[in-house]
Structure 1
């Protein structure tokens, strides 16, 4: 009967009728219990015939018909009206349902099915703010709800797995319509990092306007990558001990560069804060504690203006209010007459050469301190602004008059010795920059142009230079001439030339660097071989001989030279040897990723003798990479799996794996998916295990070629008569079912080879 039931719908309905007959008396006595009795009957029948015997809606349909006295078992359900589902609700009705649901109810509804999820994801979650303290302490502010959602709220725990309270937060963060006004992070702990990792896997970035890292972080390693650049307007960070490299990483991020303001507060004194990192930050606010003169010295602010990157910055200095202080102590560094602003003694304006813009410097004192009445906050604001047209014209004429004044001072000397005019011009420019205390008050080519006009007796200050013939730059040289120049330059000189301007960079990047081999162990231990240079480059060269700071090829940090080589678009390495994948190497690879480049390498060797086999191959071009050599001290299954699954490994011609461990301890089954590899182990021969492994490889059928170091005794495990090859005792051949291929096993000196042919 069971077999018939599985095949015949009529037999199935008969079984339902039989179950109905068993309880018809109970239903007659208590008609209101028919649905409960129907459900129990279905459950009992499924116990007997299996869970997939019949779904309950179908069972209930026939049960209900029998209850109504309709025993026609041949009824065809195709004539039934179509069943309406929840998803058939009109769109506006569905949205009204959503308006009455709380956020956690929406997220619960979202998990019903894919179609419901698509609709729920179109509802605005109306979450305005999220605060994260720890995995057990967080809050979510909802626009349409007075109270916030807290991690301690029991109603959330009832719906979301109590063992993982962060699942609610994760569901909110992954919502495609989430648009946060503010995200406050008190701790970037391991649980938070797991959340961000899951967010990365979903290929989503958070739509956040303001982020506040609200706790004094002992480390300045702040992660911003998971937020959308451009949307993020304000970043607020509290630092306890800021580190130069970590702060630099924050400032170089897309999020920081595109934000409207970066607020930094630190208890560090100015002398210990890496101020120079801020030269590349467009907009920032800095609050420090200590003596005002430490931060308001002219060097920092004037360098900010010289660099020309900053758009706006405000620097606060907190100090006790009982300290005697005069604003003249600060403004005395900015007393250039041409920078003064009439009737506003606390304001200075510095023109930006070659533009119609200027930097406005303003000092304010006695700002009310957040720390209380016993303290004051003095501030300096530096902001880049556009000049009105009239102001720009007036400034140009004023500058030319200053040049004319300098010319007047040396006019007699030039008249006596005309050949010295260029030398005197250069010295006059230098003196003028000293007087105005502004080294780029006017660049020298512009100064020399006007100086020469005055030498020639032309004193028209309103002359328009737009009619001048175009100056021919070096980049206008014919391509073949430029390439001949490149052939005579050393690699470090090429990189120096590359940094001159964008046009040079394009031309220099077309020159083959002729680097064939790189060895890397650490930031201070690396070597680079070049075909056109007999001596190799190494870290010791830098700062000593040909690459010292007095030569044009000098790199401030030796590792920066390596980065310049790796990022070269024409680099084609024959071999790269990596001894240790330390922190600096990971930074190099990260910068390589940021430039959207992968290395063109044929052979790579990891001489990594650390315990973990944490090997990164993703920065090399798959297909170009032919050979991969690895020495693994104590490899784990996860590490080997990640290596084998990589595109680089799958496309390589051969992967060499060497390990001191014995074969039985190595996760060899991971290699079933590796097309081409060589294995070499320490310890006992393990003939039987190796033979078993080879047979499994042939059975899986994915390996193309492999070589395992072993003794000739391993062949005794491959003595099938049909596999023997006449006259070749060390050869075996195994046909692959369903193909015209076969696997060939051959014992060679100290190794056995398996190859698909």
Structure 2
């Protein structure tokens, strides 16, 4: 006669006998539980109860009439002292604490009491993959035929998704950004193809102190800059795959990120005219390449423009003079300094001081040869 489910549920002695039988078979608990459910029914006993009796019998306590009500109530993680929970959370890195936030409200509160501070976040995007690193934690998303595969730290198993690989990566970064009081010191964004990089689609900008941006063109550089909060960003370093777009550089000057930055460095391949220097007047320091077709006319203009920069502390110019050979000689002569004759010019550093009119401050120029058609000019304001 087939036993009813109600009878089985009420007959604890029978159920425990079945569990003891599974223990005696010496099979893994997961396999034993599945076999138990197939025998007595899928909804007769939940796994935690089965686990209790399984391990009790496994360790030799085989009293089928034991009353669990005599046991003290089992402890859970929520019974842990708050002080101990804070100590544990404090020893986790920001990524590990991110996972704690999704356990329950109380643990989320503990996790959120530690501001997630990252030293650096690095993002790299190409036409078929996206890599990002949160400090030393590496993540990867690869384009597949129907979506993407995502790999997380310490795991060789891919997480498959039907989403675009960039969308999936941005979605994951957004989870970190949404953590209360999220902070990062440095953000690096490198984009290696000419498509939209989507970094500017993050829900909130990065509150980074410094940023390195590498883009296919000026439009991509500006896109990536848009992912930085101009209220926090102090230092910017920019580089482009195709930098010969001088007519588009104005897009960079118009961004709030550039206007509010204190230190900016442009890759030497991004060349500017003397007229562009007026956009640098708010900076404490900057580095860029300047080209000129008339050194004798432009060098005094460079000096006069920079001398008006009230916030300036220092700058470095890679100066390219049109058909100047060597350019250091022409530059030095343009500011009234003597230059050694012959090959010695390649080995010397020429120092020049310029008293800023109406001020006790002066500009100190240090000029040295840098290649056949370039000289390096370091300028420091002496107060």
- TM-score, normalised to structure 1, is 0.36
Q: Give 1:329's aligned residue.
A: 334
Shift in alpha-carbon separation, 1:90–1:36, aligned structure 2, 3 A: same
* Equivalent residues in 2 for 1:410-449, closer than 5 Å: none
Shift in alpha-carbon separation, 1:25–1:381, aligned structure 2, 3 A: closer
Q: Give 1:224's aligned residue.
A: 225
Gaps of 5+ in 2: 142-150, 338-350
Q: Helix, strand or coil: the match of 2:225?
A: coil
Cα deviation, residue 210, structure 1: 1.4
Query: Which runs of structure 1 show a deviation greater than 6 angstroms over 4 or more consecutive aligned residues?
Result: 62-66, 188-192
Shift in alpha-carbon separation, 1:322–1:302, aligned structure 2, 3 A: closer
Distance 1:98 1:137 in 2: 27
Shift in alpha-carbon separation, 1:198–1:15, aligned structure 2, 3 A: farther
Gaps of 5+ in 1: 143-147, 333-343, 352-357, 386-757
Cα deviation, residue 171, structure 1: 4.8
Q: Give 2:261's aligned residue.
A: 259
Shift in alpha-carbon separation, 1:48–1:149, aligned structure 2, 3 A: closer
Shift in alpha-carbon separation, 1:34–1:151, aligned structure 2, 3 A: closer
Q: Give 1:57's aligned residue.
A: 48
User: Given that residues 367 and 377 in structure 2 are in contact (C-alpha distance below 8 angstroms), is that contact kept between their aligned partners in structure 1?
Assistant: yes
Shift in alpha-carbon separation, 1:248–1:94, aligned structure 2, 3 A: same
Identify, as 1 or 2, the structure richer in helix: 1
Residue 178 of structure 2 is aligned to residue 182 of structure 1: no
Distance 1:86 1:191 in 2: 48
What's the CA shift string for 1:81-103, capped at 9, x where partnerless?
34322243345544554577677
Q: Give 1:364's aligned residue.
A: 365
Q: Choose the corresponding residue for 1:40, options 20, 34, 42.
A: 34
Q: Choose the corresponding residue for 1:14, options 4, 10, 14.
A: 10
Shift in alpha-carbon separation, 1:11–1:158, aligned structure 2, 3 A: farther
Shift in alpha-carbon separation, 1:185–1:37, aligned structure 2, 3 A: closer
Cα deviation, residue 316, structure 1: 1.0
Q: Give 1:68's aligned residue.
A: 63
Q: Return the structure number with greater relative CO, CA threshold 8 A, min gap 6.
A: 2
Q: Give 2:353's aligned residue.
A: 346
Shift in alpha-carbon separation, 1:34–1:325, aligned structure 2, 3 A: closer
Shift in alpha-carbon separation, 1:71–1:263, aligned structure 2, 3 A: closer
Q: Give 1:287's aligned residue.
A: 288
Distance 1:133 1:118 in 2: 33
Q: Give 1:296's aligned residue.
A: 299
Aligned residues: 333
What's the CA shift string for 1:528-554, capped at 9, x where partnerless?
xxxxxxxxxxxxxxxxxxxxxxxxxxx
Q: Give 2:203's aligned residue.
A: 199
Pairwise CA RMSD of aligned residues?
4.9
Q: Is the radius of gyration larger for structure 1 or structure 2? A: 1
Distance 2:319 2:95 in 1: 45
Residue 133 of structure 2 is aligned to residue 133 of structure 1: no
